[in-house]
Amino acid sequence: MKPASTTRILGAATVAALLAIASAPSLAGNYAEGDPRPVPLVSSTTRAEVTADAQQWLKSAPTQGYTAGYASQAAVVSANSRAAVAADTRLWIQSGLAALQNGEASADTTRPAYRQAMAEYTKLRASPAYGALVDQLTSQQAAAQSRATVR
């Protein structure tokens, strides 16, 4: 090799090494500063307070579009618990509906695969396994909250 090309290669390698050393701290995140692992937040707001707040906000919420001639609909707040929502999500994934919804376009409800997955989801949701899963998740959440408050 020629001495000039060797010098260029060594120079480029030196610059690359310096850039790598300079950027290494930005790749480390905040773990060097002692950040703990994320801990889920526990809400101190009751379901009744959230429902009342949502209904109060909806009374004065801005409307979209031309709604002068339309009466406002009553506010509907879900009564599902976290465990019920988590169980429903697991069944949705287990039935295959989640995989069919993946992508930019929504699921094609006319396809046989979608209809089969929807039938499986409906069957799972109506089965006693859904209630057992809700109970299991409720007890897991209660255990996690009791561990979080003991600290």
Tokens matching residue 151 = 């600290």
Comparing 30 with 130, the larger pLDDT belongs to 130
Q: Give the helix ranges, DSSP H, for 28-127.
A: 47-60, 82-95, 97-101, 112-126
Q: Which long-range contacts (CB under 8 A, 24 or more apart) does 75-82 make?
A: 77/50, 77/51, 79/47, 81/134, 81/138, 82/137, 82/141
Tell me if the pTM is above 0.75. no
Q: What would the pLDDT profile of 96-140 be if each residue is shown by its tens digit?
A: 888 887 765 667 788 888 889 899 999 999 999 999 999 999 988
pLDDT of residue 33: 56
